[in-house]
Amino acid sequence: LGSVDPQLQHFIEVETQKQRFQQLVHQMTELCWEKCMDKPGPKLDSRAEACFVNCVERFIDTSQFILNRLEQTQKTKPIFSESLSD
C-alpha cells in the first residue's frame, strides 16, 4: 500500500466531521422533539419554545463535556495500539 495523498486524507477527515455533525444534529432534533413537542401546530407555544431552547443548550453542553473528557482520557492513557507494541 502506497502513501495516502494528503489532500485526499484531509478531504476524508472533513467529510467524516461533517457526517458526525449531521448525526449529532439528527440525534438532538429527535431527542428534543420527543421531549418538548406535545401536539404539533402552526406555532410553538412559549412553553414548547423554552423547552426546545433548554434541550438544545443541554445537548450541546453534554456533547462538549463528553468530548473534553475523551480528550483528557486520550492524553493521560497510552493509545491501545501503542501499548500492544511495547
Residue count of the chain, please give it: 86
Tell me, yes or no, whether 45 lies in a domain: yes
Tell me, yes or no, whether 33 lies in a domain: yes
Q: Give the CATH number, domain containing residue 15.
A: 1.10.287.810
pLDDT, one tens digit per residue, over 17-74 is: 889 889 988 998 999 999 999 888 888 899 999 999 999 999 889 888 988 888 888 7
CA angle 79, 81, 1 (to 5 degrees): 125
How many whole angstroms separate alpha carbon 11 and alpha carbon 58? 31
How many whole angstroms separate alpha carbon 20 and alpha carbon 14? 10
Domain that holds residue 15: 6-76
Structurally, how many domains does the chain consist of? 1
Tell me, yes or no, whether 36 lies in a domain: yes
Tell me, yes or no, whether 49 lies in a domain: yes
Tell me, yes or no, whether 86 lies in a domain: no
The predicted model scores a pTM of: 0.61
